[in-house]
Amino acid sequence: MKLNVCGGCNAKIAAGSLEKILESIDVFNRKEILEGFSGNEDAAVIKLSDEIAVVLTADFFPPMVEDGFIFGEIAAANALSDVYAMGAEPVAALNLVCFPEDEDKAILEDILKGGASKLKEAEVALVGGHSIHDPKIKYGLCVLGVVNPDKIYKNNTSKIGDMLVLTKPLGVGLLSSGMSVGEIHAEDFKAAVASMRTLNKYALEIIKNYAVRALTDVTGFGLIGHLSEMVHETAIINTKDIKVLQGAKKAASEFLFTAGGQRNRNSFESLVDFQINDFAMEEILFDPQTSGGLLISVAKEDAKKLCEDLVGNAIDASIIGEIVPKENKKIIVR
């Protein structure tokens, strides 16, 4: 039985709306909390000792593919990614499940098996979870990881002169949306699915060998949104160097937009100086990515070797730009 496709990270609440709500919450802060939601980090970090901190995150969403097992894999890879983006090793996970009471339970079994399969690949223990009845299927994980407190990667510590490296091509949101209305070639969508199923574990293992200044993953807020959190001064990105999944730009040019992409444009467009005459490419840069790649701010002298190392290990990485002294906008697109 096929799933009703309606989600992935395209279902994420708009950044502007979320920020206003979170600012209104009175939060109790414990001294052990090194990172919470106030810094827009990918996951929380709780210090246990001088050598050990735990990293905690949760992520779930509605299906973006029709196959339950593959949906489970993608949702698990996406949730694990927030731990990898902090430079941590995920060790345990809890299932988060919303499932209609009258739906075929074989679908739920497929979803959970898919998630468990990806956790096994990541060498992460599934230790329990929570499930409720809900009119719409949703699935994801709460993930716990470990890291040395002195070796945490943050998303906002880039420096002038750094180069920007992206480890996966863009466009999965546009392709998922287009596929749901039958306007995308099956082979193009197959490539998007392969990208979403790929763990960022393998990229992180390589990244740790280089002078990484800042790290995040590109998910629901698109490349522009997540890059805006990384940059204090200005980032220049070169569209000719950004890898895009086949069919995604065509989907954008045919106005197969995602709701999440339009929310991202509304939230982040004022931060960007588009020096290109290419509306379809703009849409790709705002496109929500489900289980997207890692965005790395790395010392200039390490960038080329890092990218070569990633590509040599079958990771579709490219150098997409650099951090420069402050100009008129936070992000310049050329």
Residues known to be catalytic? 9
Are 287 and 171 a contacting pair, CB within 8 Å? Answer: yes
Cβ contacts of residue 57 below 8 Å, gap of 6+?
Answer: 42, 43, 44, 79, 82, 83, 142, 143
Q: Which residue spans within 171-327 are E strands per DSSP?
A: 212-217, 234-237, 272-274, 294-298, 318-324
Residue 316: CB atoms within 10 A of its CB come to: 16
Cα angle, residue 139 at apex, residues 136 and 144 outer, rounded to 5°: 150
Distance CA 244, CA 265 (A): 18
Region for 65 from its dihedrals, namely left if φ exceeds 0, alpha if ψ lies in -120 to 50, beta otherwise: beta
Distance CA 244, CA 188 (A): 11
Tell me which residue of 111, 243, 256 sits closest to 179, measured CA to CA: 256
Dihedrals φ, ψ of 268, to 5°? Answer: -120, -10
8 Å CB contact between 60 and 130 = no
Are β-strands 138-147 and 53-61 bridged in parallel, bridged antiparallel, or unpaired?
A: antiparallel
